[in-house]
Structure 1
């Protein structure tokens, strides 16, 4: 699932317009929209559909789709939210038997509509809705009526910066040509519901983001062969936890052990090591060679502020989490993975947290270029950026209840396992975040992160068995 900026969609449309009449794209969009609605009706004849149309091409798409629905026996009505409307679409809609209703009737009959089609605003509009459309959108949400959004839910910003504003909440979003960033990233993704992409013949450029799917995770997950041993599978070193925060050491060890590390060495303080060995007797406390190292989780205030710089210079693949992020040297490397949440990333960039949350895509890219490291920005949407690479990768999304203390420690351990197995840094980051999300999907929550970590072997096995 590739995600694009509005300007990329517009440029691709302009190229098609040089070759075809613009109405051709509208008819392709309308046909796809009508088909998507018909598949979700309990029979076409006699079903009731309300079109809420604005003045732009989104309204035209909906009106032409309404023509097709009316011809199949659907009772179609339209509320014009503004003074203007797509005239050719409106004329065809009335000729096909469609009828206009006002706002009051649209609202009074709310429970009688099988589908409300949101076609108020498109990708060129500003976030938010004017009255009385905002009130109607909220009434739709509160009543549970099924809303189908045309291209994107009206009121939602199509791309960063994201702001809180009144918007429709859709059960289905039918989008055209390419996915928009709001459909793949929060907070827009939750407003879109199911997303169906209609190919209207656009030739799009390099995507801004790539959304991983479970099949991608299965295909990229490192599987040991019959001649693998604990060393070839990867030895992961953990310098995590402290006397004040021993739980971080236990959780990072759980992430590494349950995601399939060949061997886990714990290199933290002795009191912490003893706690880890009590929980995981397969962890090794002795010093030795490692293929990857996880540092920072639960460190607290360490007196030695040169640790990260020394390890960065040593060249071993690194996962740098939590407190270690405050010790970054001036120059990093792409084989070092930083795993900040929004607040930590704001610290790294020297900006307010709100600057990260309103435009996380720009922030994670800036962090990768500034530090020279690969960056995994944790949150409701998890972004992975690598220096010199334009397309940002998005992990498979998971349920929001996974955002709890300790989840990041488990994630760091999983990422360390993958780096130790030889997985490239950016891929390891996306895999780690994705498998944790898939485990959360598979486990009715909320459950604590240590319990979720224990489900990883089952989730990984099921995922690999499902891969054709």
Structure 2
């Protein structure tokens, strides 16, 4: 599991450690790890040109001390001070003593073999200040290495409210920061390198699954398993206008390990033609028979409200998607108040806007604003509806009502295709039916869905939603 801690958690841990260490020890640990990473990125250390962009405070100090270490190994190191009167005195003195120089020439940025971004650290908020903003758009000659966080990215949320540097590599000290895992900040981060500095940290505010975590979550049938023990997922999806949504949801559920899929809706003929193993029941969820979870809403059209009400009345986990979310937004959070079984909502940002409007009574906020603040949006929805929320997008963010968050690290832009979300809903529903708690079911489903998209699109070509479902067994098997 990749763990990411808030700035407040990091500051508290740093203060506790610094109280037990000689002055400057923590900064020297950070600088040593930073310099070692830079040395690996350079074709050679001796004779390379390194530029340190140093802001005020400890972040600039880390960069200056790292620059001094590279200078002692033969690099030509120049420091461009964004706040000369507030540059870290110890770091600057060490750099100068090692043979580094101060420059005021911004074109050094384009000529350097490597640039250290030490402008703003984890305490910074807002976009880059005017004196630093030009570097966000400037051409670079070599890689940019961010010190703890790319300058201009909010470390807690990933929001980018103005100009920000795009790093090729970000070196994190002690722990990852949530904003490095969540777009738009994640797209500024580049490759992540973690340098241990000895922090003792509380439970992380944000986590991200890795391959071994997924393997531990995925259900595997035992010798005594049958279709009911493995889980039966009910799918209430599709309509005369959108029969394909039913087919795709069923495909995701069957490829997601469900023991059986029970379908209700108007697209039964299309579903059975494609997947003859599907159990078909006339009517709605209320009369469908035994299931361990329901998926409601993909392409449901006019029948969404009744299907939603019947599914929510059942004492099993319910996943609500697409047209079901539109109906839930109209009904508001009160529709879930009496439920004792878990509920999982899977909106994109447009649906999230409608859900928030349904919870507050206000006009829907612009979807673009919600996409720019994904972590905040997912947590707001989870709290308002007292449900687990899988917020889809370039970074999929899963939040539960307690505030716990998982960020999905897999995926590809080729997943942005019609019906992709229907496959994801069926897949997540099958994992709910297998008994996974909603946070785990949503996290594992998003991870597998992203891997399947990668496999289907290799070596890089357009895919259709059914290709994603077809690639799920490969993703399940390889998990990488």
CA contact (8 A) 1:46 1:74 kept: yes
Q: Which of 89, 92, 101 is the equivalent residue of 2:91?
A: 89
Aligned to 1:174: 171
Task: Please state whether the residue corresponding to 2:280 is helix, strand or coil.
Answer: coil
Distance change in 2, residues 1:161/1:59 (3 Å): closer
Q: CA deviation at 1:398?
A: 1.4
Aligned to 2:466: 450
The number of aligned residues is: 455
Alignment of structure 1 residues 241-320 onto 2, 5 Å:
241-269=238-266, 272-286=267-281, 287-302=288-303, 305-320=305-320
Distance change in 2, residues 1:367/1:132 (3 Å): closer
Alignment of structure 1 residues 57-456 onto 2, 5 Å:
57-84=58-85, 85-107=87-109, 110-111=110-111, 113-140=112-139, 143=140, 145-160=142-157, 162-269=159-266, 272-286=267-281, 287-302=288-303, 305-328=305-328, 329-331=335-337, 332-333=339-340, 335-350=342-357, 351-352=364-365, 353-354=367-368, 356-387=370-401, 389-442=402-455, 443-444=457-458, 445-456=461-472
Q: CA deviation at 1:206?
A: 3.0
- Unaligned 5+ segments in structure 2 are 282-287, 329-334, 358-363
Task: Please state whether the residue corresponding to 2:466 is helix, strand or coil.
Answer: helix
Distance (whole Å) between structure 1 residues aligned to residue 384 and residue 153 of structure 2: 30
TM-score w.r.t. structure 2 length? Answer: 0.89
TM-score w.r.t. structure 1 length? Answer: 0.92
Q: CA deviation at 1:316?
A: 1.9
Distance change in 2, residues 1:154/1:96 (3 Å): same
Task: Please state whether the residue corresponding to 1:438 is helix, strand or coil.
Answer: helix
Farther off after superposition, 454-463 or 395-404: 395-404
Q: CA deviation at 1:22?
A: 4.3
Distance (whole Å) between structure 2 residues aligned to residue 14 and residue 135 of structure 1: 34
Q: CA deviation at 1:246?
A: 0.9
Distance (whole Å) between structure 2 residues aligned to residue 76 and residue 163 of structure 1: 29
CA contact (8 A) 2:183 2:372 kept: no
Distance (whole Å) between structure 2 residues aligned to residue 341 and residue 380 of structure 1: 10
Q: CA deviation at 1:48?
A: 2.1
Distance change in 2, residues 1:305/1:105 (3 Å): closer
CA contact (8 A) 2:158 2:181 kept: no
Q: CA deviation at 1:300?
A: 1.4
CA contact (8 A) 1:118 1:153 kept: yes
- Unaligned 5+ segments in structure 1 are none
CA contact (8 A) 1:335 1:425 kept: yes
CA contact (8 A) 1:336 1:425 kept: yes
CA contact (8 A) 2:158 2:183 kept: no
Distance (whole Å) between structure 1 residues aligned to residue 454 and residue 217 of structure 2: 19
Task: Please state whether the residue corresponding to 1:130 is helix, strand or coil.
Answer: coil
